[in-house]
Amino acid sequence: MTNANAPDASAHRIFLIGYMGCGKTTWGKKLAARLNYAFVDLDTILEEKEGMTIPEYFTTHGEAAFRNLESAILKSGDYPQRAVISTGGGLPCFFDNLEWMNANGQTIYMNLPPAVLASRLDNGKDERPIIRGKHGDELIAFIEEKLAEREGFYTQAQHTINGINMSVERLMDELGIEHPEENV
């Protein structure tokens, strides 16, 4: 689904947004490879810049400092123009980050139901401090609550795509990028 102010496909930076677990990092890599674009994960830039994992950063500096830093990294623009950029799930919901992304590239929201997100996040790994210690129905309920808070931001993206049955071709179709192999 594309909203009215979507720029044309020539806008090079493609920002993937959506709740943690929706597939931004996974599909950002695949889309970048298909387009021969750079792949940028803003969380990875932050971890490399700070020399620690995101959970460690939350513990040592707190969430407020994390939100300031992730916004500064976004707006630094210190990454290639021709890039697929996977954002952290909270990025669009703080400051004017979403407006900045809409003004500096194409944005696409990957929409998935809470139960599917929970099934992908409830993996025993401690990767996301916000959901630390939450499992099963408690995790689903937490995601439902957070998604209700955040949906208003995510849906300001220029495009929204259903994250079920995801494929690079579907992402390209939504972004208005032709994939000529089908014309043969």
Ligand X SMILES: O=C(O)C1=C[C@@H](OP(=O)(O)O)[C@@H](O)[C@H](O)C1
Binding residues for ATP: 21-26, 128
Summarize the annotated binding site for Mg(2+) as residue ranges.
25
Q: Which does 53 bind (CB under 5 to 8 A by kind): Mg ion, ligand ADP, ligand X, none?
A: none
90 binds, among ligand X, Mg ion, ligand ADP, none (CB under 5 to 8 A by kind): ligand X
Residue 108 interacting with ligand ADP (CB under 6 A): no
CA nearest neighbour of 106 among 90, 80, 136, 83: 83
Q: Is 93 in the site for ligand ADP (CB under 6 A)?
A: no
Residue 86: exposure state from Cβ atoms within 10 A (0-12, 13-18, ≥19)? buried
What are the tokens at 130? 């916000």
Name the amino acid, one letter, at 88.
G
Find which of ligand ADP, Mg ion, ligand X, none residue 114 binds, CB within 5 to 8 Å per kind.
none
**Which phi and psi (to 5°) does residue 85 adopt?**
-115, 115
Q: Strand locations in 44-148, DSSP E?
A: 83-86, 106-111
Which stretches of the chain bind ligand X, using CB under 6 A? 20, 24-25, 43, 54, 88-90, 128-130
Q: Which residues bind ligand ADP (CB under 6 A)?
A: 18, 20-26, 86, 120, 166
